Amino acid sequence: MCNSVLQVDVIIPTQTKYLDLIGSIGEHIAKDIENFSGDREALAYHLNLVLTEATTNAIKHANNDPKDTVRITIHIQDNELNIKVYDHGQGFDLESVPLPDFDQPRESGMGIFFIRTLMDSVTYTKQSDCNILEIIKYL
């Protein structure tokens, strides 16, 4: 499988009204990826969902500055789709996020579960000026 290089770089205010925009970008990308033989509709939904959840997470963890922003990059090269979401908040410990309890479901805590389940790799790194949630999906 050989896709041409695609790079999208978006910066949004930390407001949930932009989730639709970010999710839609993922959906459009999935529908346009070249030489993808899998279920394109499912990939479109999954990218929409993963970008929505990751951006929501960044907004939730943002600092209280109204001028704060979230940066989202999407990069596709060869068969790797790479998403990075940058936030400027306190950050969180990805490894301590538990799996949902399916027998006693709770109203929150399913976002990271979706990202982990639908994508191939998820990491969260804290840097001096920002935190980066990096998500990789092999196409």
Binding site residues, other proteins, CB under 8 A: 16-17, 19-20, 23, 41-42, 45, 48-49, 52-53, 56, 59, 100, 102, 105-111, 113-114, 117
Taking the least distance from each CB to other proteins, the nearer of 80 and 92 is 92
DSSP the chain: --PPPEEEEEEEES-GGGHHHHHHHHHHHHHH-TT--S-HHHHHHHHHHHHHHHHHHHHHTS-S-TT-EEEEEEEEETTEEEEEEEE-S----GGG-PPP-SSS--SS--HHHHHHHHSSEEEEEE-SS-EEEEEEEE-
Taking the least distance from each CB to other proteins, the nearer of 28 and 126 is 28
To other proteins, the closest distance from the beta carbon of 129 in angstroms equals: 25
Taking the least distance from each CB to other proteins, the nearer of 53 and 87 is 53
Distance, CA of 26 to CA of 31 (rounded, Å): 9
Taking the least distance from each CB to other proteins, the nearer of 55 and 131 is 55
To other proteins, the closest distance from the beta carbon of 2 in angstroms equals: 28
To other proteins, the closest distance from the beta carbon of 79 in angstroms equals: 24
Taking the least distance from each CB to other proteins, the nearer of 81 and 115 is 115
To other proteins, the closest distance from the beta carbon of 56 in angstroms equals: 4
With vertex at residue 77, the alpha carbon angle to CA 30 and CA 56, rounded to the nearest 5 degrees, is: 50
To other proteins, the closest distance from the beta carbon of 127 in angstroms equals: 25
